[in-house]
Structures are given as C-alpha cells and as structure tokens.
Structure 1
Amino acid sequence: MDVLLTEFTAGITVVTPKGRFDAFSAPSMRERFDELLSNGNNKFVVDLSQITFLDSTGMAVLVSLLKRARYANGDTKLVWPIEPAAKRILHLTRFDHVFEITETTDVALKKF
C-alpha cells in the first residue's frame, strides 16, 4: 500500500492510504501511525478516498489510532472512501458514530 503523508501548519497530519487497507497492509500502517504518535503527532486526518478495499484489520488500525490520538489530547478525523463497498462497511459498523467522517480533507481539517 502506498501512503502519502502531509503535515499542515496547525500540527495536523494528513495520511492518505492508497489501495487495499487489509490484513496485509494494516501492519505497516500501524507501524507508520506508531512512529507518528511517538514523534508527538496527535491530530490526524485519514483520507480514505483512495482505498480500494477495507476490512476489519484496517478498521482496527483506525480505531487504535483514534484511541491513542485522543489519549494524547488529539483526535482523528476520516474522509469517506469513494469505493462503495468500503463506504458501506463503515456505515454498517457505525464508524460514523465513533469518528467524525467528512466528504473532503479540507472539511476534515476545518473540524479541528
């Protein structure tokens, strides 16, 4: 999985995974988030618009990031996937009741 990282002046890190976010790619994403959190980052926007597949392992990584960011007095916002199946799984699991999920990165950034 390719990942694009961007940091904004307000200390918000935008993470944009591309491709499948599943049992094979989730461990490397978890390591990336661990590194960012260890470096003091605590505000994240995870832009899921470019993922092609999402499974429970990828979702567990997102929940872990949310918990750890909030523990560090930060937060995690998500951008809805474009892929219909990925969007549906987030609705079915009620992720939109746990995370603030927006249509675009710009909107998510303004939520901080």
Structure 2
Amino acid sequence: MNPTVSVIEPSGILNAVNGNELRREITNLISTGMEIVLIDLQDVTFIDSSGLGALVAAMQSVKQANCKLFICSVNDQVRMVFELTKMDRILQIFATRDEFNSQVLAIQ
C-alpha cells in the first residue's frame, strides 16, 4: 500500500512569517494522518535563519509523529545555507521531485 504523501510548495523568501505558516501547514498535515511530507523548495529564492528554524521545528514535529520529511529542488543559496549549518547532513534532500518519487515512493 502506498503511503500518503503531501507536497508543500513555499515560495519567495522563507523567513519568520512564511516559516510559521509552513510549520502550521505541516502540523495540520500530521494531524490528518499524513505519513510523508515533501517540501519542494523550487520557488524559494532565499532562506534566512528564521526559515531554517522553521524547517528544524517542522522536522522535529514530523519525527515525533513517526512521519517522514523530505526536501527537494533547492537552489544554490538554500543549498549553501544548508551546507554552512550542516542541515544537509540532517535533512533528506533530493535534487528534484522526480528523484524523490523514484527513490522514496518506488520502494514503499
């Protein structure tokens, strides 16, 4: 049986305001029984420390609910922030949504 997956597509700058919205959306998804959350950052142009904090909080919420969180489609600036903060070692990041589908959903 395929797991239930929800894709969140934030856009623009991922900062305190958008980060709080992202966390609320993930909390709502978890409460509906979502098993996998994919955050597609294709349309995110910049992430600041508040946005990074929101991703960490989201990751913790998902983990506590025994769900899985994945990230895909990060641009160079976001990738650099992830690398500088070593978040690239904690988050499961895929180059594209297709890569996520083939590597995660195909083995479920």
TM-score range (shorter-chain normalised) is 0.7 to 0.9
- Name the residue aligned to 1:3: none
Contact 1:49 1:80 in 2 (8 A): yes
SS of residue matched to 1:24: helix
SS of residue matched to 2:34: coil
How many equivalent pairs are there? 103
Q: Given the alignment of the two structures, is residue 64 of structure 1 paired with residue 78 of structure 2, yes or no?
A: no
Gaps of 5+ in 1: 1-8
C-alpha displacement of 1:15: 0.9
C-alpha displacement of 1:111: 2.1
Contact 2:37 2:69 in 1 (8 A): yes
Deviating above 4 A after TM superposition, structure 1's stretches of 4 or more consecutive aligned residues are none
Distance verdict in 2 for CA 1:108–1:47, change over 3 Å: same
C-alpha displacement of 1:22: 0.4
Q: Given the alignment of the two structures, is residue 93 of structure 1 paired with residue 85 of structure 2, yes or no?
A: yes
SS of residue matched to 1:59: helix
CA RMSD of aligned residues (A): 1.6
Match of 1:77 among 63, 70, 75: 70
65-74 vs 11-20, which deviates more? 65-74
Report 1 or 2 for greater relative contact order, CA contacts < 8 Å, sequence distance ≥ 6.
2
Gaps of 5+ in 2: none
Whose strand proportion is higher, 1 or 2? 1
Q: What amino acid is aligned across from residue 12 of structure 1 in structure 2?
A: V
Superposition pairs of residues 16-55 of structure 1, within 5 angstroms: 16-55=9-48
Q: In the aligned structure 1, how far is the partner of 2:79 from the partner of 2:97?
A: 16
Contact 1:26 1:61 in 2 (8 A): yes
Residues 51-85 of structure 1: CA distance to partner in whole angstroms, max 9, x if unpaired?
A: 01101111122112222222222211111422x22
Q: Given the alignment of the two structures, is residue 108 of structure 1 paired with residue 100 of structure 2, yes or no?
A: yes
Q: What amino acid is aligned across from residue 104 of structure 1 in structure 2?
A: T
Q: In the aligned structure 1, how far is the partner of 2:100 from the partner of 2:55?
A: 15
Q: In the aligned structure 2, how far is the partner of 1:42 from the partner of 1:57?
A: 25
